Amino acid sequence: MDFVEEVCSDNTVRQYIKGKFLGKGGFAKCYEFSFGEQLYASKIIGKSTLTRSRTRQKLMSEIKIHKSLQHQNIVGFHKYFEDDENVYILLELCTNQTLNELLKRRKRLTELEVQCYLMQILKALSYLHKHKVIHRDLKLGNLFLSDKMEIKLGDFGLASQLEFEGERKHTICGTPNYIAPEILESKYGHSFEVDIWSFGVIAYTLLIGKPPFETNDVKKTYRRIKMNAYQFPEHIIISDEAKSLISQILVIDPSKRLTLDEIKNHEFFKGLIPELLPLSTLTCPPSSQ
Ligand code: ADP
């Protein structure tokens, strides 16, 4: 068995059992860690990858922001520590992968499921924005599912906490398919509305089965985003309410985009929406009783 030791501030040592490999990201590997009955997801970052002070700064910013957040729909941050070789970040373990794997299995989701997931994403975003944090990399692969099928937003590697009202950010970041047009046209800077754009891309992708601006070439995708060139394919039936919601979010001018409150009150979310979905929906659509 593989162990990792944490030397605590009072010089006691905690031994974690390093278990199953969970996945690999940009510069972290993720493993299941256990301490007694407690299970965690541990992001392991080799110190050899942190030689540039910029990379180290970025990791510290991710930790600082994530540590300050506590919400039912955000991956819980437990603690971080280091040994000679690595930095370890212990996070709430999400046992049912992300919406990315779910959509690959299911192709697309029913409107009821999309309503349920989007509502939870809205709660996470309202909390973040209230705390002046912009996520900036909202995408299916960063939306984890807990053992109870709750949505947990994770990966604060690109997040930014604004310091003053009306501050604009100028760094170009995000993931091609989900990136907002004002990030690509960086003259005026960007703010919270970039997460709302990505929310719109997520809504479209879950209902249609592929992202609205996807092409085989990043430059072409960016051109489509800047022209807002997307369509609802005729062969996939979605409600007028869903189309109305998406088309009022995927709006080039960020000031004309729906706000989080307007989205919550949109007719797409009228009617009974389940708090959580059954585990069976990981592989099959919910039965329509
Ligand atoms: P990236 O660098 O791609 O943003 P991360 O470093 O955050 O990814 O995570 C790498 C992989 O580890 C993820 O794709 C996922 O498979 C897994 N993972 C990350 N966080 C968790 C978690 N809280 N629970 C379960 N698995 C996780």
Report the C-alpha gap between 177 and 189 in whole angstroms. 19
**CA-nearest residue, atom 3 of ligand 1:** 25
Mean pLDDT by 10 residues, the chain (289 residues): 92 95 91 97 94 87 96 97 96 98 98 98 98 96 98 94 86 85 86 96 98 96 97 97 98 97 98 96 87
User: pTM higher than 0.90, yes or no?
Assistant: yes
| Predicted pLDDT of residue 84 | 93
What is the model's pLDDT at position 53?
81
Q: Does residue 122 contact residue 260 with C-beta atoms inside 8 Å?
A: yes
For residue 47, say whether it is annotated as part of any ligand binding site: yes
Are 45 and 139 in contact, with CB atoms under 8 Å apart?
no
28 lines ligand 1 (CB under 6 A): yes
pLDDT of residue 25: 84
Give the pLDDT of residue 82: 95
Q: Is residue 25 within 6 Å of ligand 1 at its C-beta?
A: yes
Structure ipTM: 0.95
Beta bridge partners of 86: 46
C-alpha to C-alpha distance for 201 and 213, rounded to whole angstroms: 9
Give residue 168's pLDDT.
86
Q: Measured in angstroms, how far is the CA atom of residue 52 from the centroid of ligand 1?
A: 22
**How is 91-129 classified by DSSP, letter by letter?**
EE--TT-BHHHHHHHHSS--HHHHHHHHHHHHHHHHHHH
Please, are residues 73 and 152 in contact by the beta-carbon 8 Å criterion? yes
**Which residue's alpha carbon is nearest to atom 23 within ligand 1?**
93
Token pair, residue 4, equals 């990792």
Q: What is the pLDDT of residue 288?
A: 66
Is 240 annotated as catalytic? no
Nearest to 41 by CA among 80, 82, 10, 1: 80
Bridge-based pairing of strands 29-35 and 151-153 is unpaired
Beta carbon of 278 within 6 Å of any ligand 1 atom: no
Residue carrying structure tokens 């310091």: 163
* Residue 289: per-residue pLDDT: 54
